Amino acid sequence: MLAAGLAALVGLWLAATRAMGVAPWRGGGPVSLEVDLSARTLTVLRDGEEVNTYPIAIGTEDHPTPTGHFSIRTLVWNPGWVPPNSDWARGKEPREPGDPANPMQGVKMYFREPTYFIHGTNDPESIGAAASHGCIRMTVGDAEELARRLMEETGAGSPPDGGETRYVTLPSAVPLEIHG
């Protein structure tokens, strides 16, 4: 009974803080990310203070970007692309790393495995729009800058040199909140 009451109070508190535009987890760790879908921005926070904001593309109405609390732990530098088992991808061909037709350019950062990523895009004109199938798109330069920061902030070292695909597991998860 006490646990149910406490859970209800926490739920009300979270709903109220979100309604006021406050991210309740800010300041909970050295680096965290916040995505505002309506503003189409991704903000990097360090110790709760904004250090950078990037423009992004988000999911369409038919393929919305999920909202909620997530974490980033895995990065893939120079990723290939394999079409997901979805109607929208039927008939699409896999793309090698570096292929201009590869929608995953530069780096991808998992936030809801195995389907949702923050990634560099081969369609930079889509930034600022609702254009993806649920992922968060960034320009290649912005995505690479963000991934470098996450690696440095978590002690994962430096990004790879050259064009090889490289998987990186961050030593600590980076919190991500996505809200409308």
| Domains of the chain as residue ranges with CATH | 26-179 (2.40.440.10)
- Marked catalytic residue, from 63, 133, 135, 179: 135
pLDDT (mean) for 153-171: 88
Position 13 scores a pLDDT of: 39
Largest Cα separation within the chain, whole Å, is 57
pLDDT tens, position by position, 11-43 = 443 344 334 333 343 334 589 999 999 999 999
CA distance 136 to 175: 15
CA distance 36 to 56: 9
Rounded to the nearest angstrom, the gap between the alpha carbon of residue 57 and the centroid of all alpha carbons in its chain is 11
> Could you identify the residue written with the tokens 């995953």?
104
This prediction's pTM: 0.81
- The pair of three-digit structure tokens given for residue 26, joined into one six-digit string: 């800010």
Nearest to 32 by CA among 160, 180, 172: 172
- Amino acid, single-letter form, for residue 52: N
pLDDT (mean) for 34-58: 97
Contact 73, 66 (CB under 8 A): no
- β partners of residue 69: 177
How does the average pLDDT of the chain come out, rounded? 85
Higher confidence at residue 68 or residue 8?
A: 68
Q: Is 179 a catalytic residue?
A: no
> Could you identify the residue written with the tokens 């970007």?
65
For the chain, give the percent of residues with pLDDT over 90.
69
Q: Is 133 a catalytic residue?
A: no
Output the CA–CA distances (angstroms, integers) from residue 65 to 12, 47, 90, 94, 125, in the order listed: 24, 26, 20, 22, 18
- Give every CB contact of residue 109 below 8 A, 6+ residues apart in sequence: 72, 74, 75, 76, 117, 118, 119, 143, 146, 147, 150
